[in-house]
Structures are given as structure tokens and as C-alpha cells.
Structure 1
Amino acid sequence: MITYWNPLPTAQRLVAADVYPTFTGNWAERKSRNVPGPFYAAETDTLQATRGDAPDHIAYDNDLGGGFGWEFVYRQPVNEAETGNLVSAARVDGYCGYGWDGDDHWTVEAVRDWWGERGGLREWAVELAGEWAGNTHPLYHGHYHDGARGLRDFVAYLDDGLEQYLRGYMFWLAEGREPRAGDSAPDL
């Protein structure tokens, strides 16, 4: 059975009383490693603090050179608690680089295209996790090991779990509703 749970009503409720906007990320600036879904990271700068709030959802890349780069959402939330964690992580970002309008941009075909690139993405994550896990600098050892953990978690999700999520998300995009018993999801 396919499933998909829409996290946006929960996220909207959680940020309704926020004084400063939380999700102002620009889709055109989003990082390509973000998994398809409503949430994404664009240009962020949290000094590697967001994994503390959402370690099951956030990982780091190395696109800025010389170590950590940007954050990306490697796993979309599937319940209220996970949505709360992702909202907390987005609140930590001083650049307000997280967005939640992915549903307005993703299409079934775009999800298929992203999934088709997963082999290269997996290879990149495995290699970088190995580099970061070997960092022994006393000041940065913990940061790099946590960054490596996030990438290993991402690889594990690519290998087991993400395909099922994406099929449910593609149903959501195509039908505009959560799947019910007996519905079939589009193929990846």
C-alpha cells in the first residue's frame, strides 16, 4: 500500500505565531540534493546547527569548498513530530533559506528525473562521508563526524525507504490528495 502524509498544515500551524518568517527560501536557489517534497533548503547558514534539531532530515554538502557547505533536506517529514523537528531546524537558519513551496514546483516527471540521478548522488555522499569521518582536527572532529553521519543516513534512505516515499509523493502531485487503500502509485 502506498502512503503519503501532507506535512504542510502542521508546519503552517507551528509557524503561525512566529514573529519572523521561517520559510522564505527561493526555489530557484534550492540545492539539487534536496529530496523531492514540500520542504527544501536553498542558501542556508546555520554553522552546522540544524542537524541538532532535525538529524533525521538534514544533511550537509561541501559545495562551498574547504569543508561544509549548504544544508539539504534528505528526508521529508512523515508525521507531526518530524515536521516539528524540521520547522525547528528551519528556525535556526539565520538566512531563512528553507522553503516549503516544493509542491508548487515538483511534477511527477521531475521526481522521476531526480530519482534517475540517485546513483551519482549516492556515490558523492559515500565518498564525502568517508572523507569527513576521517577528520581528526580537535576543534572540528565532532562537526565532521556528525556531517558524515548525516550523509550515511542519506545513503541508507536512498537504499531503503525513499522509493516508497517518492511513489506516495508522486501520487499526491498527480491526484492532489493522499492515497487511499486500493490506490496505485505512479512508477518511478
Structure 2
Amino acid sequence: MIGYWDPLPTARRLVETLDVSAGQIFAGRWDQRNWRNVPGPFYAGETDSLAIGRLGAPEHICYDDDLGGGFGFEFIYRQPLNEHETRAVMDGCRAEFYSGYNWDGDDHRTVDAVRGWWRDRGRVREWAVAIAADWGADTHPHWGYNAGLRYSGHYHDAAQGHRDFVAYLDDGLEAYLRGYLLWLDERRGPGPGEALPRL
């Protein structure tokens, strides 16, 4: 993708077709956002630990392990790039029991903060590689009741999300973020032949 596609007009239009308000879906707090969230308008703050966001948006949502011994909170690892993906992200956000997502990231992000997140991406990548290996394994004796085979499919799917996140960090995310920097700074896409800002 060259430049940046703003998903918010589509998201607002989709909310108008629902039987709930935007405030009922998007109540996540910026000061509680998960540090793994990829910069962009959508992000997760403190969410429930049911880990069902990937059912609606497997190409956009991952789970962390911050609660220990299994699923913790959700986060956005890939922002939507078109209407179909925006609908998927909205589905994932709507499934969150505590309304821990929000779509006001553009109001909080700064160019310097996005560049800082990118500089620190090694920390995110290292975490994602490690958790993908752990959750992708067939046995987890250290997890107690969560170690049962009945949960393995859910953990293996989550591990695939982490592997997808690593792949996106390695190829694709830089181009997205360069377009997002221009959007944050000037609220526009690039002109013909215009170079995007550097990360």
C-alpha cells in the first residue's frame, strides 16, 4: 500500500447501521492501551480475557499473556486497509465484553511517538516470537487447568496470529507507518511522486 487509507469514515458509517452506539463499543482508555498496539486509529486498552476478538478479525487482533498462564488482553496488530478489513475490526471490537477498544488513536498519536514505537519494534518482535513458540506447542504443563487439550486449538490459532504479526513487522508495517506519519502530520495522502516521511 502506498500512502494511507483512513478507515474512520467507513467505521462511522458502519456504526450507524448497528443497534448500539459508538460509545458502547469504543470505551477503551488511551492511558490503558496495550504497548503492543500497532499505531493507527484503532487500539485496545484493558479488555476482557475471553480472547474472542480473533473470531471476527484474525488478520488484525492478537492476544497477550499479561495475566499469566494463558490469555490476557487483546491488541491491534494490523490496522484495517479497506472497507472489508474495517468491518472485520469492528466485529472484533464489538465482541469485547468490556468495550475496551477505541478508535481515537489519531487524536493521541504523534509523529515522534510513532517513530519511537517503530524504533522499539524489536521488543515487540521478540515477545511475539517467544509467545508464538510457547502457545504453538502441543503441551503446556505449567498452565494448570488451561493446559488441557480442549484449549489447544484456541492457543494454536493465537500463536498463528503472533506469527502473522512477526511477518507484518518484517514486511509491510514500515510502509503503512510511513503513510500514517504523513496522515498524522497533514491529514492527507501523498501527492503524485511525493516521497513519504522516513521512520
TM-score, with structure 2 as normaliser: 0.91
Kept in 2: contact 1:46–1:94 (CA 8 A): no
Residue identity over aligned pairs, in percent, reads 60
Mapped pair 1:48 → 2:51 = yes
Give 1:150 shift.
Answer: 0.6
Kept in 2: contact 1:10–1:80 (CA 8 A): yes
Aligned to 1:12: 12
> Aligned partners of 1:59, 1:113: CA distance in 2, in Å?
21
Compare relative contact order (CA 8 Å, sep 6+) and give the higher one, 1 or 2.
Answer: 1
TM-score, with structure 1 as normaliser: 0.96
> Aligned partners of 1:46, 1:16: CA distance in 2, in Å?
28
Give 1:185 shift.
Answer: 1.4
Amino acid at match of 2:15: V
- Greater mean deviation of Cα atoms: 126-135 or 5-14: 126-135
Kept in 1: contact 2:49–2:72 (CA 8 A): no
Give 1:143 shift.
Answer: 1.1
Deviations 1:39-65 (A, max 9, x none): 001111261211011000000110111
SS at 1:72's partner residue? strand
Give ranges in structure 2 of 5+ residues lacking alignment.
140-147
> Aligned partners of 2:82, 2:118: CA distance in 1, in Å?
23
Deviations 1:1-35 (A, max 9, x none): 83100000000010124343211111111101000
Mapped pair 1:28 → 2:39 = no
Give 1:139 shift.
Answer: 1.5
TM alignment of 1:33-112, pairs within 5 A = 33-45=36-48, 47-112=50-115
> Aligned partners of 1:67, 1:25: CA distance in 2, in Å?
22
> Aligned partners of 2:3, 2:116: CA distance in 1, in Å?
21
Give ranges in structure 1 of 5+ residues lacking alignment.
none
Mapped pair 1:173 → 2:173 = no
Amino acid at match of 2:157: D
